């Protein structure tokens, strides 16, 4: 078979556009795909000079240089299209006689690329909004918590020093981040430092940084201190009550003067930071005992915000659990809901570790849960036996309840509450009353007497 005879029909059957041009830029051939893709009939273009139609065409470059262009992306003005082309010299007896171009219309791809960029931009904008959702997380049904959040919002966009009081795990850091996000410093750094974890000997080099060669083992080029890193932004000093008296006076000096000297440095550096600090300690008590400097206390205690423990705002359990669960479901790629009875249990439990404990418990349950609902069976056993606890009824270990009037009850009443709740719980978990009786280790008679006493159905 003489293949040469078929070359034209081969070119005609291609899906890519083909255009052949002679040395003087005369167009001598376009295939059917060219006409289809660009809407130009062959008779309208053959015989014309490319130079006159598209003076900056890449094809003309190849005509001139004799060097092929492979996978070349360009915009063709006369066609108003983005194309990807292979442009190769056409040779006869070792002499270049023209150029063959095989090209694809990629306008659609370019358009989609543009769309993709637009969506990427939208996604990053949404992500930014999501990242600024800390005040949303702090929405609450408890009056005490609402007051704390209102105050935080009110002072967000000022430079006032804020001190957050609250037990461990109540969300002090989330408050600090929310305040930072709502301030005009939101596009600058938010640096959080836990004072309990900085050894006294390293306080200055961590906070102020050091100059190169200021001590043996110091890093080449020195090191930036946390103050420098937080400059123009917000500095969150967590666990402020854990600082030694010595470090307290060093901190006081910076706060007063807003200037400091690097370790091994000779000049004073200015610093512009908004300070938010936090503690689970009772600083006034510490002052009395000589453990906390009074002057530092007054410097820091400009806007005190008290965050209530979770056990005093159990009305928030549902909202908190929903939010935390949503985040966890994303993390674990699951879709899990909480059963009503689990929420009931949550409201009875005392949450000594506050929202941190709630978050940990939910994570543990989600990780092991294979059903669409978290039920009582998924609650870690250790917690079930802690709850309902005696302290649940009387907040024995609650030392932040100065404002709360505790009602003291006879021992019998105190013990009855957990007993009733535990019996109800075992009944719910058991398949039959007989099984519950066995689990509780009671006689049938004693069991029914208790049901009657506590009016359990």
Long-range Cβ contacts of 374-380 (<8 Å, 24+ apart):
374/336, 374/337, 374/338, 374/339, 374/342, 375/339, 375/341, 375/342, 376/339, 376/341, 376/342, 376/345, 376/425, 376/428, 376/429, 377/429, 378/342, 379/342, 379/345
Q: Which does 166 bind (CB under 5 to 8 A by kind): ligand ADP, Mg ion, none?
A: ligand ADP
Nearer to ligand ADP, 45 or 276 (CB): 276
Span near Mg ion by CB under 5 A; candidates 165-173, 181-189, 255-263, 382-390:
165-173
Q: Which does 359 bind (CB under 5 to 8 A by kind): Mg ion, ligand ADP, none?
A: ligand ADP
Q: Which does 21 bind (CB under 5 to 8 A by kind): ligand ADP, Mg ion, none?
A: none
**Residue ranges binding ligand ADP (CB under 6 A):** 137-138, 166, 168-174, 320, 323-324, 355-356, 359
Helix 444-453 with 411-429: angle, nearest 10 deg: 110
Span near Mg ion by CB under 5 A; candidates 169-177, 254-262, 402-410, 429-437:
169-177
Task: Give yes or no for a cis peptide into 388 (omega within 30° of 0).
Answer: yes
Distance CA(96)–CA(119), nearest Å, equals 47
Nearer to ligand ADP, 303 or 440 (CB): 303
What's the closest the beta carbon of residue 366 comes to ligand ADP, in angstroms? Answer: 14
Q: How many residues bind Mg ion (CB under 5 A)?
A: 1
Strands (E), 64-174: 69-76, 81-92, 95-105, 162-165
What's the closest the beta carbon of residue 280 comes to ligand ADP, in angstroms? Answer: 7
Phi, psi of 102, rounded to the nearest 5 degrees: -115, 120
Paired strand residues for 165:
279, 306
Q: Which does 323 bind (CB under 5 to 8 A by kind): Mg ion, ligand ADP, none?
A: ligand ADP
The answer to whether 177 and 190 are in contact (CB under 8 A) is: yes
Burial of 322 (0-12, 13-18, 19+ CB in 10 A): exposed
Q: Which does 171 bind (CB under 5 to 8 A by kind): Mg ion, ligand ADP, none?
A: ligand ADP
What's the closest the beta carbon of residue 246 comes to ligand ADP, in angstroms? Answer: 25
The closest alpha carbon to 456, from 414, 425, 410, belongs to 425
What's the closest the beta carbon of residue 268 comes to ligand ADP, in angstroms? Answer: 32
Q: Integer distance in angstroms from the first to the last C-alpha of the chain?
A: 96
Residue nearest to ligand ADP (CB): 171
What's the closest the beta carbon of residue 142 comes to ligand ADP, in angstroms? Answer: 12
What's the closest the beta carbon of residue 177 comes to ligand ADP, in angstroms? Answer: 8
Question: What residues between 172 and 211 interact with Mg ion by CB under 5 A?
Answer: 173
Concatenated DSSP letters of 28-73: EEE-HHHHHHH---HHHHTTSBHHHH-TT-HHHHHHHH---EEEEE
What's the closest the beta carbon of residue 315 comes to ligand ADP, in angstroms? Answer: 13
Q: Which does 46 bind (CB under 5 to 8 A by kind): Mg ion, ligand ADP, none?
A: none
What's the closest the beta carbon of residue 238 comes to Mg ion, in angstroms? Answer: 5
The answer to whether 388 and 418 are in contact (CB under 8 A) is: yes
Nearer to ligand ADP, 31 or 354 (CB): 354
Residue nearest to Mg ion (CB): 173
Nearer to ligand ADP, 90 or 383 (CB): 383
Q: Which does 214 bind (CB under 5 to 8 A by kind): ligand ADP, Mg ion, none?
A: none
Q: Which does 19 bind (CB under 5 to 8 A by kind): Mg ion, ligand ADP, none?
A: none
Structure-token match 């009772």, residue found: 282
The closest alpha carbon to 254, from 209, 314, 306, belongs to 209
Distance CA(304)–CA(378), nearest Å, equals 39
Q: Which does 142 bind (CB under 5 to 8 A by kind): Mg ion, ligand ADP, none?
A: none
Nearer to ligand ADP, 82 or 173 (CB): 173
Distance CA(145)–CA(226), nearest Å, equals 31
Nearer to ligand ADP, 298 or 319 (CB): 319
Q: Residue 103: CB partners within 8 Å, gap ≥ 6?
A: 16, 17, 19, 83, 84, 85, 86
What's the closest the beta carbon of residue 272 comes to ligand ADP, in angstroms? Answer: 25
Nearer to ligand ADP, 306 or 334 (CB): 306
Residues of this chain that bind Mg ion (CB under 5 A): 173
């Amino acid at each position: 078979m003489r293949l040469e005879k078929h070359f034209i029909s081969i070119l005609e059957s291609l899906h890519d556009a083909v255009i052949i041009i002679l040395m003087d830029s005369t167009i001598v051939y376009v295939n059917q795909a060219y006409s289809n893709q660009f809407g130009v009939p062959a008779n309208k273009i053959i015989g014309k000079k490319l130079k006159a139609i598209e003076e900056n065409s890449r094809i003309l470059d190849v005509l001139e240089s004799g060097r092929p262009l492979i996978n070349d992306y360009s915009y063709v003005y006369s066609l108003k299209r983005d194309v990807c082309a292979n442009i190769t010299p056409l040779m006869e007896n070792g002499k270049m006689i023209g150029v063959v171009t095989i090209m694809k219309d990629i306008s659609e791809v370019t358009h989609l690329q543009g769309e993709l960029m637009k969506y990427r931009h939208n996604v990053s904008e949404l992500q930014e909004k999501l990242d600024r959702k800390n005040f949303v997380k702090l929405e609450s049904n408890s009056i005490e918590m609402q007051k704390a959040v209102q105050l935080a919002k009110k002072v967000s966009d000022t430079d006032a020093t804020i001190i957050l009081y609250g037990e461990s795990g109540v969300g002090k850091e989330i408050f600090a981040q929310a305040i930072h996000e709502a301030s005009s410093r939101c596009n600058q750094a938010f640096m959080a430092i836990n004072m309990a974890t900085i050894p006294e000997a390293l306080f200055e080099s961590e906070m102020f940084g050091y100059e190169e060669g200021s001590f043996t083992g110091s890093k080449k080029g020195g090191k930036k201190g946390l103050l420098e890193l937080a400059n123009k932004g917000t500095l969150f000093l967590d666990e402020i009550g854990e600082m030694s008296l010595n470090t307290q006076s060093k901190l006081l000096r910076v706060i007063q003067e807003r200037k400091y000297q690097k370790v091994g440095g000779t000049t004073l550096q200015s610093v512009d930071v908004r300070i938010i600090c936090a503690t689970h300690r009772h600083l006034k008590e510490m002052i009395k005992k000589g453990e906390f400097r009074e002057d530092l206390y007054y410097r820091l205690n400009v806007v005190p915000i008290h965050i209530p423990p979770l056990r005093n705002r159990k009305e928030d359990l549902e909202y908190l659990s929903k939010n935390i669960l949503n985040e966890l479901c994303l993390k674990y790629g699951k879709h899990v809901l909480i059963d009503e009875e689990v929420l009931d249990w949550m409201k009875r439990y005392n949450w000594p570790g506050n929202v941190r404990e709630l978050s940990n418990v939910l994570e543990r349950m989600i990780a092991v849960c294979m059903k669409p609902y978290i039920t009582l069976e998924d609650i870690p056993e250790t917690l079930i036996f802690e709850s309902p606890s005696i302290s649940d009824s009387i907040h024995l270990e609650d030392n932040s309840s100065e404002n709360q009037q505790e009602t003291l009850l006879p021992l019998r009443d105190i013990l009855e509450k957990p007993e009733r709740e535990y019996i109800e719980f075992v009944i719910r978990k058991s398949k039959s009353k007989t099984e519950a009786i066995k689990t509780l280790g009671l006689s049938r008679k004693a069991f029914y007497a208790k049901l009657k006493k506590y009016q359990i159905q």
